[in-house]
Amino acid sequence: MNVAVCVKQIPDPAQPGRLDPQSHTLVRQGKLIMDDSDSYGVEMALQLADAAGGGEVTLVSMAPGGETSGLRTALAMGASKAVLVSDEALAGSDALSTAKVLAAAIRRLSPDLVVAATESTDGYTGTLPVQVAELLELPSVSFAKRVEVDGSTVRVNRQTEAGSDDVECPLPALVTVTAGVVEPRYPSFKGIMAAKNKPVEQLSLADLGLSPEEVGAAGARQEVISVAPAEERQAGEIVVDEGDAHERIVAFLDELKLI
């Protein structure tokens, strides 16, 4: 079974993020790492390919500057190869433009299954995977807590507000996974060494048959108008117990309608 996994490469969350003062978008220069959310998708894909008795796991990413550091981590986990779309004309791409690019790259692979995370940890519109599915005319199942493939059917236990649903759909399909669907493995030393020589195909917009007008700032239908710093958290009120602390705390919780 061949599985394509979307892997978003993001600035290291350990470093404070910066916004470009003109475009108000995240500055994504320098080394990028694999978004932690996608390590679940990579692990899920590896386990499904194993359970099916073989097949390839191919990573698909769109990132600036020909960046492959995050992809190498996923290759070290065991994925066979990667496709990276990088093109200067992609700067300013909104979620739909990104979906168009990833859908075009995935179409060339004709996978049995496409796996993505439910949402990324930096941009997190949570809309990209379903847009990719729509563009590829594939059924999509979101918020997967458990995924099994049986022949040409994928069975998914998906998280809902009330609990969970069991659904199934025919392959090919797109599934988005939640953190906790599987426990991502740590890349082994052997895996890290092997990843250095695994193929990463770099594609431009022209390779995908897309024109610069459809993507990037030119094709974006969303625009960030302004940004403002988040309000600083106020210091909490300290209740000094003069015999009536419990009453004051209950009154406070009652005021907030928490009890």
Ligand X SMILES: Cc1cc2nc3c(=O)[nH]c(=O)nc-3n(C[C@H](O)[C@H](O)[C@H](O)COP(=O)(O)OP(=O)(O)OC[C@H]3O[C@@H](n4cnc5c(N)ncnc54)[C@H](O)[C@@H]3O)c2cc1C
Q: What count of other Cβ atoms lies within 10 Å of the Cβ of residue 192?
A: 15
Q: Distance between CA 62 and CA 226 in Å, rounded?
A: 25
Residues in region 4-33 near ligand X by CB under 6 A: 6-8, 23, 25, 28
Q: Which of the ranges 126-134, 146-154, 196-204, 233-241 carries the binding residues for ligand X, by CB under 6 A?
A: 126-134
Window contacting ligand X (CB under 6 A); options: 68-76, 89-97, 159-167, 238-246: 89-97
Q: Rounded to the nearest whole angstrom, what is the least distance from the CB of residue 205 to ligand X in the complex?
A: 14
Smaller CB distance to ligand X: residue 88 or 247?
88
In whole angstroms, give the CA distance from residue 188 to residue 75. Answer: 11
Among 1, 3, 46, 62, binds ligand X (CB under 6 A): 62
Q: What single DSSP character describes residue 167?
A: E
Give the range of 42-50, 116-124, 202-210, 243-251 binding ligand X by CB under 6 A: 116-124
In the complex, what is the shortest distance from the CB of residue 21 to ligand X, in angstroms, rounded to a whole number? 13
Alpha helices in the chain (DSSP H): 36-51, 69-77, 95-107, 128-136, 189-195, 216-219, 245-255
Q: 144 near 175, Cβ under 8 Å?
A: yes
Residues in the chain: 259
Residues in region 92-111 near ligand X by CB under 6 A: 92-95, 98, 102
Q: Is 69 in the site for ligand X (CB under 6 A)?
A: no
Residues 149-208 that bind ligand X (CB under 6 A): none
Cα separation, 68 vs 110, whole angstroms: 22
- In whole angstroms, give the CA distance from residue 112 to residue 109: 9
Region from 56-64, 180-188, 200-208, 233-241 binding ligand X, contact rule CB under 6 A: 56-64
State the binding string over 205-224 for ligand X (x if CB under 6 A, else -): ---------------x-xxx
Question: To the nearest whole angstrom, how small is the minimum distance from the Cβ of residue 98 to ligand X?
Answer: 4
The nearest distance, CB 110 to ligand X, in angstroms, is 18
- Taking CB atoms within 8 Å and a gap of at least 24, the contacts of 88-92 are 89/205, 89/212, 89/215, 89/216, 89/218, 90/62, 90/64, 90/205, 90/215, 90/216, 91/23, 91/64, 91/216, 91/217, 92/23, 92/25, 92/216, 92/217, 92/218, 92/220
Q: Give the total of residues touching ligand X (CB under 6 A).
A: 36
Residue 76 binds ligand X (CB under 6 A): no
Binding residues (CB under 6 A) for ligand X: these are 6-8, 23, 25, 28, 35, 37-38, 41, 61-62, 64, 91-95, 98, 102, 116-117, 119-120, 122-129, 220, 222-224
